[in-house]
Amino acid sequence: MTRTVKLAALAKLNLGLKVLHKRPDNYHELRTVFQTISLADTIEIAYTPSRFNKFVIESGDDIPNNLIIKAAIAIMEATNAKGDVRFKLTKKIPMGGGLGGGSTDAAAVFLALPALTGRNLPLDKLTELAAGLGSDIPFFLLGGTALGIGRGTELYPLPEMPALNALVVAPHVHVSTPDAYRALKRKLTTDLPFQYISSFQSRVWSLGEQYCENDFQSVVFEQYPHLKSIQRKLTKLGAKPAMLTGSGAALFGVFDSSQAVKVALPAFARERAYPVVFVGRNRYRTMWRRQLKDHVLGEVWPPQSRYAR
Ligand code: C5P
């Protein structure tokens, strides 16, 4: 018997991003605040138990997304489940925009596939597998607003933010994340890291009034002046803050109302622009329970399969 689900996989913003020193594992030590937003990809998964594993993406869009397959393999191997797993992916989140598009698709597989196969995994194991595939994936196992430290995979839930209205602008520019880190290298401060952390924390605690900055902005704006002009335009239209997300190339502006977003939208007719709202952790989890409702039991997080023996 085939079990199917249709999932919304939400995008993220970085409301602040500080890049500290390079670590012995070659990743950079980060301080960031992640936020889930309403912009979403759609993933359909069909699982049929069988003696052998088979993974297929039957995507209408011609977009490679190896992370989905890698996530499925990681889950099936870790739980010793077997079967035929088919995906249909409808992309809406621009790739390479700093919006976590590839990461959220992978996280959706980490949350949904155990529910379909009947082999639950505890959250710490899911997080470990997710971090093995990408630094941004574990956040999507949590959702809402969260502080990310270390590689970005060590997460601390922050108080719920209101459902703020924002405009995400994704120019037709692709910023390579490793290149952005390399460009940043010249500007990183290695001294006084503790002072750096405490000043970041104090900004995080005052989130809502005073937002954080994004360290990638100076190097990315230098390379792509057009992005700086989008930031200026967002600010002029009343956005506060208006900033880059991740290493870009997408930017976002937070507005006072959905009406203000509507008024700003036509100014970005030449870019891809998306009105969004911030999605808090409660809404994120309710959404997840609703989309898995035929296959899970109870209110536990992560969702628990009803087929588990
Ligand atoms: O983990 P992920 O595959 O998303 O990282 C992509 C690249 O971004 C890494 O190979 C590394 O160059 C850089 N990165 C980093 N420090 C982090 C996260 C990512 O240097 N904390």
For residue range 248-295, list pLDDT tens digits in order: 899 999 999 999 999 999 999 999 999 999 999 999 999 999 999 999
Q: How far is the CA of 149 from the centre of ligand 1 (A)?
A: 13
The residue whose CA is least distant from atom 14 of ligand 1 is 27
**Where is pLDDT greater, at 87 or 57?**
87
Per the DSSP assignment, residues forming a β-bridge with 150 are: 30
- Tell the residue number behind the tokens 């209205």, with chain if given: 165
* Whether the Cβ atoms of residue 109 and residue 61 lie closer than 8 Å to each other: no
pLDDT (tens digit per residue) in 107-116:
999 999 999 9
Radius of gyration in angstroms for the set of CA atoms belonging to the chain, rounded to a whole number: 19
| CA 74 – CA 85 distance, rounded (Å) | 13
Identify the CATH class of 3-305.
Answer: alpha beta
The lowest-confidence range among 86-90, 146-150, 154-158, 180-184 is 180-184
The catalytic residues are 12, 136
The whole-model pTM stands at: 0.93
Which amino acid belongs to residue 275?
P
**Where is pLDDT greater, at 205 or 78?**
78
For the chain, the structural domain boundaries read: 3-305
* Whether the Cβ atoms of residue 141 and residue 133 lie closer than 8 Å to each other: no
Question: Is the C-beta atom of 253 inside 6 A of ligand 1?
Answer: no
Question: Is the C-beta atom of 231 inside 6 A of ligand 1?
Answer: no
The residue whose CA is least distant from atom 7 of ligand 1 is 178
- Tell the residue number behind the tokens 């911030």, with chain if given: 278
Q: How far is the CA of 16 from the centre of ligand 1 (A)?
A: 17
| CA 109 – CA 261 distance, rounded (Å) | 32
Q: How far is the CA of 170 from the centre of ligand 1 (A)?
A: 21
Atom of ligand 1 nearest to the CA of 134: 1
Atom of ligand 1 nearest to the CA of 22: 20
Separation of CA 301 from chain center: 18
Question: Is the C-beta atom of 152 inside 6 A of ligand 1?
Answer: yes
Question: Is the C-beta atom of 218 inside 6 A of ligand 1?
Answer: no
Question: Is the C-beta atom of 53 inside 6 A of ligand 1?
Answer: no
pLDDT (tens digit per residue) in 13-52:
999 998 988 899 999 999 899 999 999 999 999 999 999 9
